[in-house]
Amino acid sequence: MLSMDARDLIDDLAEVLVVPSFTRLGFGLRRHLYGWPEAESYPMAGRTVVLTGPTSGLGRAAAGSFARMGANLVLVGRDAGRLERTRADLLAETPGVEATTVVADMASLASVRSAAAEILDRLPRLDVIVDNAGTMLPTREVSPEGFERTFATTVLGPFVLVARLLPRLVASPDARLVAVTSGGMYTQSLPLDDLGYERGDYNGALAYARAKRAQVALVREWARRLRGAGVVANAMHPGWADTPGLEASLPGFAKVVGSQLRSAAEGVDTMLWLAAAPDARSSTGRLFLDRRARPFDRVPGTRLSATARATLWDSVVQLTSEPDPTSEP
């Protein structure tokens, strides 16, 4: 039997090498090393989960798992038809599941505000928000309010949603915020003076990576600012998972990694753990892969200082025209 130190050493070595860590090999290695209980073994009966991007890929896998764990689900997506089909499928798979659909385009701040008002009106309790929606675009597009769409979908819209739902979330005895990021964010710095990617030739993959780095920085700010309010806020990345989004956005990468891509179920394991496991409440403001906290930075020059993260927070507050949700009244 390996000691915990030996297991951690093996895990850390895989993490440093990246390729085995992010593939299904890394997931299988860690599950074997640590003997995890199945993520769906953590009960969520009576708890309400708001999940964005629930109709395909990681979001759809998570929705099915949360339903089987007994959670009440609020499915937030921009396509009403796909939301209703997802809800019907969940009811067929898990009879009796409580699933509410709310239409929102996360790139549209007006749409997000309307969705938040609907959620507050319909749901008396809120325990977990999972920020999962994302987009990668081949050309630069703008949101209805004129923001670069990837940044609006990944950063501005989720900020407004959490800000508007925060009073209900804080009232939960076990409040959690989980942001689903991407390992690609490790490769990019975040130019605070060009959050809308207005300078230089637009690159969809870089815009996505920048937005994900901003997302993780804001999770750290949410955690710091809400520490006294009892809200646990963490980010996770799923590794390299086989999803329709990956195939559509990065077909060459998906082909190269091939059979070593993780399944969607493997990709969402840590998301479920962060949302439900009692021991996941012991850390806040961290980035997780496979149920262990990982470094925020890998490439020199990409690190955001505490001052830079606070500046980003202030910029997002200004761009969204939201009152600072963590300011004292």
Condensed to tens digits (0 to 9), the pLDDT of residues 153-177 reads 999 999 999 999 999 999 999 999 9
Question: By CB neighbour count within 10 A (0-12 exposed, 13-18 middle, 19+ buried), where does 91 fall?
Answer: middle
Identify whether 208 is a catalytic site residue.
yes
Interval 250-271 mean pLDDT: 80
Residue 255 burial (CB count, 10 A): 9
Do 27 and 269 meet the contact criterion of CB atoms below 8 Å apart? yes
Domain-located, residue 97: yes
The CB-based long-range contact list for 99-102 (8 Å cut-off, 24+ gap) reads: 99/63, 99/67, 99/72, 99/73, 99/74, 99/75, 100/72, 100/73, 100/74, 100/75, 101/75, 101/77, 102/74, 102/75, 102/76
Residue found under tokens 């989004």: 245
Q: How far apart are CA 105 and CA 107, in angstroms?
A: 5
**Does 69 fall in a domain?**
yes
Q: Which two tokens stand for residue 180?
A: 């689903």
pLDDT tens per residue across span 276-285: 999 999 999 9
The token pair that represents 58 in the structure block:
């990681």
Please check whether residue 3 lies inside any domain of the structure: no
How far, in Å, are 131, 163, 255, 323 from residue 326 at the CA level?
Answer: 18, 8, 44, 9
Q: Is 11 inside a domain boundary?
A: no
Q: For 95-238, where are the E strands, in sequence order?
A: 99-103, 128-131, 175-180, 231-236
Question: What is the number of domains present in the chain?
Answer: 1
Q: What is the DSSP letter of 152?
A: I
| Higher-confidence position of 169 and 299 | 169
Please report, for the domain that includes residue 98, its CATH number: 3.40.50.720
The pLDDT-based confidence of 254 (bands split at 50, 70, 90) is low
Considering 42, 186, 197, 208, which one is annotated as catalytic?
208
Give me 178's structure tokens. 């989980």
* Secondary-structure breakdown of the chain: helix, strand, coil percentages, each rounded to the nearest 5: 55, 15, 35
Q: What is the pLDDT of residue 91?
A: 97
The residue segments making up the domain with residue 159 are: 36-320
Cα 272 to chain centroid, rounded:
11
In a domain, 286, yes or no: yes
CA atoms lying within 13 Å on the CB side of residue 153: 25
Q: Does 180 fall in a domain?
A: yes
Predicted pLDDT of residue 249: 57
At 246, is the pLDDT very low, low, confident or very high (cuts 50, 70, 90)? Answer: low
Helix (H, G, I), strand (E, B) or coil at 77: strand
Q: Is it the case that residue 244 has pLDDT exceeding 90?
A: no
Q: What's the pTM?
A: 0.94
Please indicate, yes or no, if residue 30 is contained in any of the structural domains. Answer: no
Q: Is residue 31 part of a domain?
A: no
